[in-house]
Structure 1
Amino acid sequence: MFDDSLSMTFCNQRYIDLLGLPADLHQPGARLHDIALFLADRGDYGEGAVEQLAADRIASITAAPQTITRRSDNKGKALEFHSSRLANGGLVISLTDVTSRLETERELARVNQTLERRVKERTAALTRANTELEAARAKADAANLDKTRFLAAASHDLLQPLNAARLYTSTLIERAKNTGVAELADSIEASLSAVEEIMSVLLDISRIDSGAVRPSPKSFPLSDLLRKIEVEFRPMARERDVCLRILKCSETVVADRALLGRIVQNLVSNALKYTRPGGRVLIGVRRRGNRLRLDIIDTGIGFSRDQHKLLFAEFSRLEQGARMAQGLGLGLSIVQRLVATLGLSLELDSAEARGSRFSLILPAARRRPSPAEPPETLPDSHAGVLNLRVLCVDNEPLILEAMQGLLGHWGCDVRCALSLKQIDRESMLEGWYPDLVLMDYHLEQTSGLDAIEWLRHNLGGHLPAALVTADRSPSVRALAEDRGIPVIMKPVKPAALRATITTLANQSRRGVLRRPQG
């Protein structure tokens, strides 16, 4: 402490030790000026004139009511000075050795610099990794797109000749009844069916896993789906002597129509395959709040709870089921994939030798009052001669030849064309109006759906038509359904083909689809 004349009145030992003052400079009465001269002469204030260095130092600590300064002594210690002027003009100086604190701060600064450098390095590395990942993702997306295109082409090109073979075989079976080659024809049909199932399943799995299947949920009445299931599977049920019963349903569901149909087809097909003759398969829908439960219940061979996981494993089949029906064990694997793709849930309950229940939980559409519709009687696709005029359009001559042979055997008057140009060039429709059209989707210069519209525009009225295609993409099925055109998948199953033809013919006869006059 110093008085108003800057003469020392008191100091403690710590002050003496930090400054290293001689005895005459830490006694009461020692002048601040003399202390500054001593420290300047010792070199604490750096190089320069001692008097000037001392004067500058005193000025720096007395220039303001309060000051904070920092300097190093001649031994390298860092000292921090706090000075305060008193009301009577005196001065109080306190000092602290901040050497360790400054070293800590410098070390922290070095650490921060190192950390910043490491962050920059890591950021640069992460940026490079992200760039490489983005490039890899783009490459993978391109590969998936190429794979999707390849699968679309493969599904069409591979299934086309198989479709022709099955049509020829169906004609052979029809003509070989009660002859010595009937058994041989049936064996060929069974082999072709196995090939078709393998190819269809593998193509479906590839399309789902590649991300090519993208749901397009819409509201539609479940009765439409159930009616198609009955048309498709009633011949199979009759052949296997299984009672197929489908309960009426007035509910509307929100889902992708094509993909949901694929799930139900697989489940119903399994139910019929693994139900012994004389058994029953029941399909019905129940409402559970804002959800619907679509049940497929059978009295088949069933399975135990321990076998649940095996059911959905690829290429896995239960021993008893493998003895009853051929297959790769991929049907339920596809079901599981499609259920996940649609965001649905699947429940199952079964007991060995007593049957099974597979239940799809579906989102219900909001109920709207609608006028009651009279029940529709499904046509008997096995009854009598069809006696219809049928126009077949396909870009594969072998398929046309096989289709003509099969339909001709059913009593149809068939005309075939490879394109719309051939129809127009050869005047095929002059004096001959078809009762219905069977149209391929992939034609050379247009799509089958546009070709149907062209025929309807030129012939007038609403010409009954069905799309016959090997293209299994949901978009094609959705386009056809939007235009009210049924789809028959290649390879064509004769029972499904005849059922569709009979349905279209009955609609035409009832006036749903009228032939133009004149």
Structure 2
Amino acid sequence: MVETLDGIPTDAWDALRQAIDFIPQGVAVFDRDLRIVTSNSRYAELLDVPAELIRPGTALYDLALHVARRGDFGSGDAINLAVQRVQELTQSHATVSQRLGAKGQVLEFHSARLPDGGLVISFADVTARVEAETELATINQTLEGRVEERTAALIQVNAELEAARAKADAANRDKTRFFAAASHDLLQPLNAARLYTSTLVERAGGTGLDELAHSIEASLSAVEEIMSALLDISRIDAGAVKPASVPFQVRDLLKKVDVEFAPLALKKEISLRLVDTSLSAIGDRALVARIIQNLVSNAIKYTKPGGRVLVGARLRGTRVRFDVIDTGIGFNKDQHALIFAEFSRLEHGARMAQGLGLGLSIVKRLVSALGLTMELESKEGRGSRFSLFMPYHRSMKVPLEPPPPREPASNLAGLRILCVDNERAILDAMEGLLGGWGCDVRSARSLKDIDKDGLLLGWLPDLVLMDYHLDQTSGLDAIEWLRHNVGGHLPAALVTADRTPAVRALAEERGITVVTKPVKPAALRASISQLAGQRGRKVVEG
């Protein structure tokens, strides 16, 4: 039995809290009444306040009043100083400020309002940076007329700055490695939680618990969105994204968009139309796909039921223009720059959908990293068009083909599926979800367990869902082993929290679908239907 908190495995919460405690900045989240919801240990350490003042439920004003009485805000009436400080942190959508701490250190505060009216405050000790800036300013003031002294000082300062830059680069690399390692451990329990919750949603219909189940599912989706965005931003800013430009078929991107977003569009009663094309482009296929996915996700998120989203590409001179067009809420020209800023959301968009406003910020970073250009047109209340331009690749035209019919959910009944994952909780959750769809499911934690338990004796799977990071081998090698023993046409999907382009490229070379964790049930169902169709076609062809 997996211990849960409000239906979510407690190890997911523990892992997330432990990860936050590794962040060198102090972080605290306040609700719409400006009372503490949670904070990390660094928050209390840098503020140097009693433990009772950082407990959940403590008012931001009480915390500010304590600090004001201690003298951190300077001389004057403590009550007025506390009120002024709270106003400084909350009067704008996002603020940046500096002040002295209790020990004389310089603290830099960043605050941002959340869509629900809450507040996130993060701060760090920037004393060393400020001292270096002050020292540099002092040196610059005394340089004139002292050529020899100036040269020596500049050499020293440049050496210190180079050392600081190298240290910062090393810290960025360490942060990237940490996020990459932590992401797997964090996404694993989150994946199990989402699968359990999806099963609960399907089984709670009409029981009075369906509203609660949907609320839990929405909260988990928000956590997943934030984590994915932070991981992407961390990798891009640290220079870990290394584009590899190769020719690729635009049609491949359209197929991925169809598999991932068709179920969501159907659920929201939005018409998602993908225009097939034989065009080829040059670029990093995985990173371009990430851009298109973010744009389509945004289009669906901010389009009302009954609206339309169109995705397609056309040739414009020597470039391919990839368009994502919607009939959503739109925005005016004055807001073009604002929508690409981190944690920035338009007021009518914030009322319509949850989020932190990171999707288009990631798009902007990726477009810059790839050296591409993007255009946008929008009219408030009428919709938007985002256009990504990529170099055109002249290749043999591939005949247009109608999109394959989507398999109805009922066709999954009786489908034999083998699930392999080294986390028992994920296997249990997957069995519950797939079993609810009528599938015949068997699971194992490794190839050794498959052999030991005799899972394939008198039972052959129609397809396999395989984790990538197994204890004894990689999921890709495990799939090859199964194909050798079960049949070379065995359809397979790699279900993994590893989002690196290298893993995706290896899987695609072997004809293996990639499903990223945390798994979206609708996308998983679409992928399974597609894989089942592959199995059927291979049997006919054989």
Query: Which TM bucket (shorter chain)?
Result: 0.7 to 0.9
**1:487 and 2:514 are equivalent in the alignment:** yes
| Residues in 2 aligned to 1:198 and 1:502: alpha-carbon distance in whole angstroms | 29
Give the structure 2 partner of residue 396 of structure 1. 423
CA distance in 2, matches of 1:128, 1:364: 50
Change (3 A) 1:133 1:316: closer
1:430 paired to 2:457: yes
Counterpart of 1:498 (choices 525, 532, 540) is 525
Q: Does 1:297 align with 2:325?
A: yes
Is the deviation greater in 302-311 or in 130-139?
Answer: 130-139
CA distance in 2, matches of 1:380, 1:388: 13
Q: How far apart, CA to CA, are the structure 1 residues paired with 2:438 and 2:310?
A: 34
Q: CA deviation at 1:126?
A: 7.2
Larger gyration radius, structure 1 or structure 2: 1
For 1:441 and 1:490, the matched residues in 2 are separated by 11
Shifted more, 377-386 versus 472-481: the winner is 377-386
Q: In 2 relative to 1, CA 197–369 (structure 1 residues): closer, same or farther, beyond 3 Å? A: closer
Aligned-residue offset at 1:473: 1.5
Q: What is the deviation of 1:419? A: 1.2
Which residue identity lines up with residue 495 of structure 2 in the other structure?
Answer: V
Structure 2 counterpart SS, 1:511: helix
Cα RMSD for the two superposed structures: 2.2
- Give the 3 Å change call, closer, same or farther, for CA 249–140 of structure 1 in structure 2: same
Alpha-carbon shift at residue 496 of structure 1 (Å): 0.4
Letter of the structure 2 residue corresponding to residue 322 of structure 1: A
Contact kept in structure 1, 2:329 and 2:382, CA below 8 Å: yes
Partners of 1:220 and 1:253 within 8 A in 2: yes
Pair 1:500–1:281, CA change in 2 (3 A): same
- For residues 185 and 514 of structure 1, the distance between their equivalents in structure 2, rounded to whole angstroms, comes to 44
Q: Percent identity?
A: 68
Check the 8 A contact 2:278/2:397 in 1, yes or no. Answer: no
**1:174: Cα distance to partner?**
1.4
Task: Provide closer, same or farther for how the CA distance between residues 247 and 369 of structure 1 changes in structure 2, counting only shifts above 3 A.
Answer: closer
Q: Which runs of 5+ in 2 are unaligned?
A: 1-146
* Secondary structure in structure 2 of the residue aligned to 1:347: strand
Q: Answer whether contact 1:507 1:513 (CA < 8 A) is retained.
A: no
How much does 1:220 deviate? 1.1
Following TM superposition, by how much is the alpha carbon of 1:155 offset from its aligned partner in structure 2, in angstroms? 1.1
2:306 corresponds to which residue? 278
Q: Which of 333, 336, 358 pairs up with 2:361?
A: 333
Deviation digits for residues 264-298 of structure 1, max 9, x if unmatched? 11111111111111111111211011101111111
Classify the secondary structure of the residue corresponding to 2:464: strand
1:313 pairs with 310, 320, 341, which one?
A: 341
Q: Structure 2 CA distance, aligned partners of 1:391 and 1:212? A: 35
- CA offsets, 1:368-409, max 9 Å, x none? 244x36423142353444321111111111000000111111
| TM-score (normalised: structure 1) | 0.73
Partner of 2:479: 452
Cα distance in 1 between the residues matched to 2:274 and 2:210: 33
TM-superposed deviation, 1:243: 1.0
TM-score, normalised relative to structure 2: 0.69
User: Paired residue for 1:439?
Assistant: 466
For 1:153 and 1:386, locate their aligned partners in 2 and report how far apart those are by CA, in whole Å.
37
Counterpart in the other structure of 1:224: 252
For residues 481 and 349 of structure 2, the distance between their equivalents in structure 1, rounded to whole angstroms, comes to 48
Q: Letter of the aligned partner of 2:220 in structure 1?
A: L
Residues of 1 paired with 2:541 and 2:457: CA distance? Answer: 19
Question: What does 1:7-156 align with in structure 2 at a 5 Å threshold?
Answer: 135-156=163-184
- Structure 1: unaligned runs, 5 residues or longer: 1-117
Query: Residue 208 of structure 2 aligns with which residue?
Result: 180
Whether 2:228 is the aligned partner of 1:200: answer yes
Count how many residue pairs are aligned between Structure 1 and Structure 2: 397
Contact 1:213 1:474 in 2 (8 A): no
**Which residue pairs with 2:537 in the alignment?**
510
Deviation at 1:514, TM superposition (A): 7.7
Does 2:240 match 1:240? Answer: no
Verify the 8 A CA contact 1:176 1:182 in the aligned structure 2.
yes
| Partner-residue secondary structure (3-state), 1:215 | coil
> Helix, strand or coil for the counterpart of 1:510?
helix
> What is the DSSP-based 3-state SS (H/G/I as helix, E as strand, rest coil) of the residue aligned with 2:538?
coil
